Chain A
Amino acid sequence: MPANFDALASAIEQSEKDLLRRWIAALTAAGATRSGQTSDKDLKDACGRFLNELRNAIKNGAGEDISSEQWQNAREVLEEISTARALRGYSPVETALFVFSLKEPLFDLLRQTLAREERLADVLVASGGLLDRLGLFTTEVYQKSREEVIKRQQDELLELSTPVIQLWDKILALPLIGTLDSARTQTVMENLLQMIVDAEAEIAIIDITGVPAVDTLVAQHLIKTVAAARLMGADCIISGIRPQIAQTIVHLGLDLQVVSKATMADALSLALKKTGQKVERIAARG
């Protein structure tokens, strides 16, 4: 096989400029620039760098196995390109095309250089296999970077959606937004209980204005949270139950076993009363 790769390397070296020009033309024809999203210059730059690393790798005696050390630089260039494309919203096909569109010009080139030699077929097969593996590698990297994006967004969502607010001395508020599933309830519960310890809170107001629906499971989660808070010496008040949700709770025959108030304001005034605090309007000014 190395002999085949040698032929490939020398072919690339001989007419690198021509190959690069035809490759870019093929890419542009396939719509790789995405009507100007990637500038011609960037594309040319990326192609040039990859071709350069490809040639270097083969010259350094890199074999078929693209996970070997000699392929390190080439892999890095591909990783960079695929990651950038994944983040810009390219499709997997468009990303993989970057490598696959090199096939046609490269094969033409090989046919010209090795026109009368017997090993032409072998070289073609070897180069085809190599490009396939590199192309699949870009897809893999693309997939990975997309998964990273999804994972990061999930984490962010989880953090964003479970803030515990110190509303007043000894009073905490937990505004719940979005559907409550088991994973989220666990985070919510842990955050709330930890905050009860940190703030030495006596009352926690759980506001469910932003919860779109309450079913038996959600109610179960709420009851558990309330029970755990009670075990730690803090009382809970549930506020913001919307009319439809109140009806659902009744229809389902649920008993939340907790004080509930219509609005956060009512809940706060009850909490103030329970903790022996008072807010007063100061005498009218002017």
Chain B
Amino acid sequence: MDKIPILKVGKCLLVTIHIDMHDRLAMALQDDLTNAIVSTRAKGVLIDVSALEIVDSFIGRMLSNIASASRVLDAVTIVVGMRPHVAITLVELGVQLSGIQTARNVDKGLETINRLIEQSESTDADGDD
């Protein structure tokens, strides 16, 4: 079975979805990713969906589940590079991905995620004082 590679870049994990997702693959990704967050102690997850052409409500829910799970594990999720038609489809399906940050491309995404990680770390530090 295909597997989606999860790369560690600095303090965050980079996931590039480069093949069309089927449901089993999506479930496997969700498992792998939560495991990877715990084992690498990552603070952020960046999901690049620029090659994703077909989405359904299941994939949409999977994305928001990943975000919720990451948040519980103290990592922020950011989705980058969504195509116009994918965005329209998700909106029409009523998937708002409200807990997820978005960015235009990986470059912007990394910038944003690093800023968010710094922010959350500084608030944690404030809390300790």
Contacts and interface: CB of A to CB of B under 8 A. Distances in A.
A, B co-complexed: yes
Interface stretch (A65-73, A77-85, A145-153, A187-195): A187-195
Interface in B43-84: 79-84
Interface stretch (A22-30, A32-40, A206-214, A226-234): A226-234
A242 B90 CA distance: 31
A233 B88 contact: no
B50 to A, nearest CB: 10
Contact of A227 (B91, B103, B104, B108): B91
A227 B102 contact: no
Contact of B102 (A189, A200, A230): A230
Interface residues of B, number: 20
Contacts of A194: 84
Q: B interface, by DSSP: helix, strand, loop or mixed?
A: mixed
Contact of B104 (A189, A190, A234): A234
B56 to A, nearest CB: 15
B17 interface: no
A53 interface: no
Interface residues of A, number: 18
Q: A interface, by DSSP: helix, strand, loop or mixed?
A: helix
A32 B87 CA distance: 57
A215 B91 CA distance: 20
Interface string B88-120: 101110001100001111001100000000000
B79 A231 contact: yes
A13 B62 CA distance: 82
Given A227-B96, A232-B104, A197 B84 contact: yes
Q: Which of B79, B81, B84, B108 has the most CB of A within 10 A?
A: B84
A196 interface: yes
A230 B90 CA distance: 11
Nearest to B92: A224
Nearest to A223: B91
Nearest to A192: B84
Nearest to B84: A193
Contacts of A228: 84, 87-88, 90-91
B104 A231 contact: no
Contacts of B109: 233
Nearest to A197: B84
Interface of B: 79-84, 86-88, 90-92, 96-97, 102-105, 108-109
14 contacts: A190-B88, A194-B84, A197-B83, A227-B91, A228-B84, A228-B87, A228-B88, A231-B90, A231-B91, A232-B87, A233-B82, A233-B108, A234-B102, A234-B104
